[in-house]
Chains A and B, each alone.
Chain A
Amino acid sequence: MRIGRYELTLQPRPERPGVHSALTAIPAILLALALSSLLFLPADTGFLSAYRAVFSYAFANPHGLQATLYRAIFLWLCTFAFLVPLRAGLWNIGLPGQVYAGALAAFAVPYALRVNELPAPPLPAGLVILLMVLGATIAGAALAGLAGVLRAKLHVNEILVTMMLNSILFWLVAYMIKEGGPFMSLTGEGESFNLPPPLYAPLLRDVPFTALLALAAAGLLDFLFAKTTLGYRIRVFGLNPAAARYAGINPVALSLLVFLLGGAFAGLAGYHYFAAVPGVYKIPGNYGYYGDLAFYGIICALIARGSAVGSVPIALLFAGLSLGARFAQGQFHLPFGVDYALLGLLMMAFVASHFLYQFRVVWRAVAVEAVPHVPTRIPER
């Protein structure tokens, strides 16, 4: 861009420490909030009080904070499910499908044990819960692993496979829980049976234990990529598959492994939302909403640039804003979709800040002048 005798240019910026790029999140968030104040124009109130409502519901209201945490745990697990294959250069777009697979497997355990029909549970509740968690992770891993095998062995595009599996699993859930399905609730309201109270996931200060699993996983994943041989191999494979093969890294085993690991997280996310969040304990009729929510894991992983720990605050923010905006929408009679718009703006601001961060803006004078007479130097020989 040129203004008068001055020119505005973008120049590549030398590399900076990771902390700097993490700090770009702050202007990005402020920018997104500034832009989304336009969304609150039709509100009955000013945008400042609208924001206060969004944030105070999401992070200060005890009820809202709980909901934010439940949702954040779900997003963390979905983020890791996307992040692990991403580090190997593979795109796991099958988060909803793997979430559904995890949920179905979790509910298959009490169904198979017929806990709702027998007067007393056949196994100790703790053991059943453990089986549910294991079942969910194995189911998610197996579903994702299918995409991994096809990718590694036959070079089938993993994006297409995981996307199509999403659809298949969506309708499989419908078949299982809707009228006539095996998991149908007793009253037949298009949702699954309720878990009996002994099988409710253990809570720590009203938060399901899955929170601990997710936070521990975040630390372990970053450790895996930074310090271990396996993490190194995954990164090399993701950055340059030809170099990985040259270095003797087995592409088939690695593709399968990252999908198994990613799918396990998504399956656990399915267990979390439908079998561990207080007040749910069933697969509700609107399960598709939670499946769609899983896609935010992709955004969080990309914004965090593959860092699991870095994605923790981002997913928390996304969880809080999606709930807070939905709450404000009801309170101030805002049009439908304000929450989605807010998340969308946030996403764009993050992406733009990442891009612009790589450059610095430089003003320089544009001079129009003739060649000065500079004889070219010819050194003595």
Chain B
Amino acid sequence: MQGLLFLSPYTLARGGELSTLTDLSFANRGRGEPLLAARGVTKRFPGVLALDRVDLDVEEGEIHAVLGQNGAGKTTLMNILFGLLQPDEGQLYVRGQRVHFRSPHDALAMGISMVHQTRKLVPAHTVLENILLGHPGTRGFLNLRAIRREVEELCSRYGFTVDLGAKVWQLSEGEKQWVEILKALYGGAKVLILDEPTSVLTPPEVKTLMASLQALVQDQGVTVILVTHKLPIVTAISHTVTVLRSGTVVARLRNSEATEQVLVQHMIGQDIALSMADLPVEKGRPLLRVEGLSAYNDKGVLSLRGVSFSLREGEILGIAGVTGNGQEELAQVLAGLRPPASGKVLFDGRDVTWLPPLDRWRRGIGYVPAERYEVASVAALTLVENTALNFHFDPLFSRRGLFNHPGLEQVTRHILLSYKVKAPHPYAQARHLSGGNLQKLILGRVLSRKPRLLIAHLPTQGLDVEATAFLRGKLLEAKAEGAAVLLISEDLDEILSLSDWVAPIYEGRFAAILPREEADAETVGAMMAGLYRKEARVP
């Protein structure tokens, strides 16, 4: 059982005593040299000071949370710790020894491993193949049976249950994350950097992850650096919190001092209202009517199975569900990006079931897709050109085939200003925007068209508290101005705080369509999990 951990040069350096590691995990915290330290780390990107003289101390055997809003510099700092980026100034130390990570290779050799926000697995390969990929022990010939034994042993030690023979594309997001963590541990990692590990997980998966991380730290002496902006996770499991704001460290707290309120203040630098005022709206006339809509997903499985509803102007219908229950297909069919298998869509009394996307934009259907980077923006184009994604067909901005560049720039400037997008200038490339700022730009673009129907798919996923509150406010404004909003979200709080109607979706069907007053978190949560289903009512 000890054989595996000895693979790590780090363990070897410590004399290879596994038991010592375990003892050290808590006892040693807070004294002696930190396991991993950053001193005065500064990193500049074009036009942005991403990190400004950041100090970080990670003690051995702790869960160290790095908290901050989008764009605070968390990911940049982690990329430096993992050798993906080099600091412009400042130094890194491992156990007091100055180190230089020229590439992740150097960091891995020191037992530092990172699990990225986006999965870095080969979907067509099995779990086992993914785990051994890139492992220093695999050269030339593979002894798959021996490796499988080792990995199985590792799994049972950490209490993971993953089918090693399964192909990665068959796994859920939570399982994929386990595979990545397992891969890191198999590679001899003693320090695990997890970048936003919970952003794609369902609530039960988050719970499992948190429990397993605690077990890893307590029983195996692994040190975890947890990058997140989710306060409950920080207060629940971290031993120490370092809070970043705009590239500087604003606080370093022990768990006992770190209440959610204190953390929010540090993160944001001010108090913000976390609850929102409900704007009273008159019920408008019916705008959208969907009848028995079904659609296949990319794998050819019927994943939207007969959904019917109608929506009035000035109403928000919140579709609550765990990702993968047909929400994406519903949004895409309504946006014209996926053909329906059956059913009908009526918009403002007209059958638009087969209308191409461009005509939908023209008629006032606006779509904010879940994939900010992959679908809703073009990284290599400027912000002005990204704005044009929603305006290139508009006669105001394209006359006789020629682009109205000044007009587009004006619109972009207006969006940057009124949506508080932090960007150096309108001609910066979209790739330089953080997730929150990009999402503000995208919602700003779509809402600037004054759509009559807005389809917002995971509009605040992965965003910090401030951006989330801001964007939710904008959705309510749009509703107040008479837009019908289809809000698709995994976040039950978001659904319940914004919607007039709540439709929990499970396996491609609405479990019910409840008026907001009848929708409480427990009922909707149970319906999302497929526990029971009422007869769907059409409001």
Contact = CB atoms under 8 A, between A and B. Distances in A.
A250 B358 contact: yes
Given A246-B367, A246-B369, A236 B381 contact: yes
B272 to A, nearest CB: 17
A372 B37 CA distance: 11
Contacts, number: 113
Contacts of A378: 251-253
A77 B403 CA distance: 26
Contact of A379 (B251, B388, B392, B403): B251
Contacts of A368: 97-98
B378 interface: yes
Nearest to B390: A247
A239 B337 contact: no
A14 B46 contact: yes
Interface string A211-254: 00000000000000001111011011001101101111110000
Given A228-B403, A236-B378, A377 B98 contact: no
Interface in B126-165: none
A60 to B, nearest CB: 42
Nearest to A377: B249
B93 A371 contact: yes
Given A9-B102, A232-B388, A376-B57, A246 B337 contact: yes
A248 B252 contact: no
B262 interface: yes
A203 to B, nearest CB: 34
Contacts of A292: none
Given A227-B402, A242-B375, A379-B251, A248 B39 contact: no
B398 A372 contact: no
Interface in B383-436: 385, 388-390, 392-393, 398, 401-403, 405, 429
Interface in B97-128: 97-98, 100, 102
B205 to A, nearest CB: 27
Interface in A340-375: 366-372, 374
Contact of A377 (B252, B262, B380): B252
A249 B102 CA distance: 42
A27 B98 CA distance: 38
B325 interface: no
Give the most central of A227, A246, A378, A379: most B CB within 10 Å: A246
B173 interface: no
B102 A248 contact: no
Contact of B376 (A227, A236, A246, A367): A246
A121 B45 CA distance: 69
B33 interface: yes
Contacts of B91: 367
A155 interface: no
Given A250-B356, A371-B37, A232 B385 contact: yes
Interface string A1-26: 00000010101001100000000000
A248 B356 contact: yes
A205 interface: no
Give the most central of A230, A242, A374: most B CB within 10 Å: A242
A246 B375 contact: yes
Give the most central of A242, A248, A367, A379: most B CB within 10 Å: A248
A367 to B, nearest CB: 6
Given A371-B96, A377-B55, A239 B378 contact: yes
A18 B390 CA distance: 27
A243 B402 CA distance: 21
Given A229-B398, A378-B252, A370 B96 contact: yes
A381 interface: yes
A328 to B, nearest CB: 42
B337 A229 contact: no
A247 B252 contact: no
A232 B382 CA distance: 12
A229 B401 contact: yes
A376 B402 contact: no
A366 B388 contact: no
A368 to B, nearest CB: 6
Contact of A235 (B374, B375, B381): B381
Contacts of A229: 392-393, 398, 401-403
B439 interface: no
Interface of A: 7, 9, 11, 14-15, 227-230, 232-233, 235-236, 239-240, 242-243, 245-250, 366-372, 374, 376-379, 381
Interface of B: 33-34, 37, 39-40, 45-46, 55-57, 86, 91, 93, 96-98, 100, 102, 249-253, 262, 265-266, 335, 337, 356-361, 367, 369, 371, 374-381, 385, 388-390, 392-393, 398, 401-403, 405, 429
23 contacts: A14-B46, A228-B401, A229-B403, A232-B403, A233-B392, A236-B381, A236-B385, A236-B389, A239-B378, A239-B379, A239-B380, A239-B381, A240-B377, A248-B359, A248-B360, A248-B361, A367-B91, A370-B98, A376-B55, A376-B57, A378-B252, A379-B250, A381-B251
Query: Which are the 10 A-B pairs with shortest beta-carbon distances?
Result: A248-B358, A14-B46, A247-B389, A229-B398, A248-B357, A240-B378, A371-B93, A371-B96, A242-B375, A239-B378
Given A245-B337, A367-B98, 8 more contacts: A9-B86, A229-B401, A236-B378, A239-B378, A246-B375, A247-B392, A370-B97, A376-B252
